Amino acid sequence: MRYLIDGYNLMHAKGLMKANFRGDGLHRARLSFLDAVVGQLGHLDAVRTTVVFDAADPPANRPVQSSHKGMTLLFAVNEENADAAIERLIAQDSAPRQLAVVSSDRRVREAARRRGATMIEADTFWSGSLKHAEPKALKTPARQALERQTQRAPAMDPEEARQFELQFAEADRQLADPHRPGNQTPLFLSDEEIRQLERDIKNETWEP
């Protein structure tokens, strides 16, 4: 399953949006939101996820397309708004039945319904019932094995967690650099790239 997320719509459902932000308040709220999304999806699904934001107030010195912890971030520059950008992405998707669209916006929901994509309400996303909204047929054996391993995994040591955060921060900095070779990536992984990722996960040796 790939995810296409209506960024500010989901932030509003999370209670992270305000009428007015001071200084870098919106930027910090957006980062907290993106970290929460990764927490809900897990890192395997994060690499299959695109989050779309309105472009009225994009982050300073950031490209239209960037990345955060594996997720693709898009700002709807030269679009009517994020809804229009999401509607276009749904219409252009080559496999809409493998796409889950996360939004409570009526226009977005209708666009997803027309293409046969899975529709997930913002409240459902945050309620902890996300996996129940995902069709079981789309859970591959590799994905199921990963979920079982993740459930048995011990809590991460605080110092180890801090090192991971530093690594992610450096990766985000490099991915945000539009002049860095290789940063022009497609919106979604191709089917072959997804199959290769699943094969790699299946063959990976997990520590007890």
Tokens, residue 65:
């397309």
The helix (run of H) or strand (run of E) holding residue 160 is helix 158-175
Q: What is the pLDDT along the chain (208 residues), one digit of tens a residue?
A: 899 999 999 988 888 877 677 777 888 888 989 999 999 898 889 999 999 998 765 556 667 788 999 999 998 888 888 999 999 999 999 999 999 999 999 999 999 999 999 999 988 888 865 554 454 444 555 555 655 555 554 555 666 656 656 665 555 555 555 555 544 444 455 566 566 666 655 555 544 4
Residue 34 near residue 70 (C-beta atoms within 8 A): no
Distance, C-alpha 60 to centroid of its chain: 21
pLDDT at residue number 179: 57
pLDDT at residue number 54: 87
- Alpha-carbon distances of 9 from 52, 63, 66, 74, rounded to whole Å: 10, 21, 19, 14
DSSP state of 129: -
Q: Which residues of 66-76 are buried (b: 16+ CB within 10 A; e: fewer)?
A: bbbbbbbbbbb
pLDDT at residue number 167: 61
Chain segment 84-126, per-residue pLDDT in tens: 999 999 999 999 999 999 999 999 999 999 999 999 998 888 8
Read off φ and ψ for residue 119, nearest 5 degrees: -110, 125
- Alpha-carbon distances of 108 from 63, 91, 96, 155, rounded to whole Å: 24, 11, 13, 38
Residue reference for tokens 């669209």: 101
Burial of 1 (0-12, 13-18, 19+ CB in 10 A): buried
pTM of the model as a whole: 0.61
pLDDT at residue number 132: 46
